[in-house]
Amino acid sequence: MLGEMTQTPIINIICKSEILYEIFVEQYSNIYRQMHEKGYETTTKFLQEKLGRQDYCMIGAWNVRYWVWEGEKCNVYSSKRGLEIEVDENLSIPDAWNCWKNFTKRLGENLGN
């Protein structure tokens, strides 16, 4: 599990590839667009429907509550601030991209590209 590794937001790795970064930003935006089009007010409710019940909740910095779905190579966090995906900071760009593709596949949404 990621808890034993140093985590970083997935964007910190993907942004090293200009092409993948552009695709990522478009797809990430599409998650929010589709979420709002379907009437979800929060990322948490959206993710709970798509991914099932979270593994746990935690209180993070500034007393923000996070709902956490743990994965083998990435963790998904949802809070009032939105959605964040964290991966091991030592992942390669292709491995980070595969984590993103697996996450979007689990959502079952058509995010473009």
Contact between 86 and 10 (Cβ < 8 Å): yes
Within 8 A by CB and 6+ apart from 109, the residues are: 30, 31, 34, 50
pTM: 0.85
Q: What is the pLDDT of residues 51-103, one digit of tens each?
A: 999 999 999 888 899 999 998 889 999 998 899 999 999 999 999 999 999 99
Q: Which of 105, 109, 82 is nearest to 9 (CA)?
A: 82
Q: What is the pLDDT of residues 27-40, one digit of tens each?
A: 999 999 989 999 99
Does the structure show a pLDDT above 90 at 5?
A: no
Does the structure show a pLDDT above 90 at 13?
A: yes
Alpha carbons 56 and 102: distance in angstroms, whole number: 21
**pLDDT score, position 6:** 86
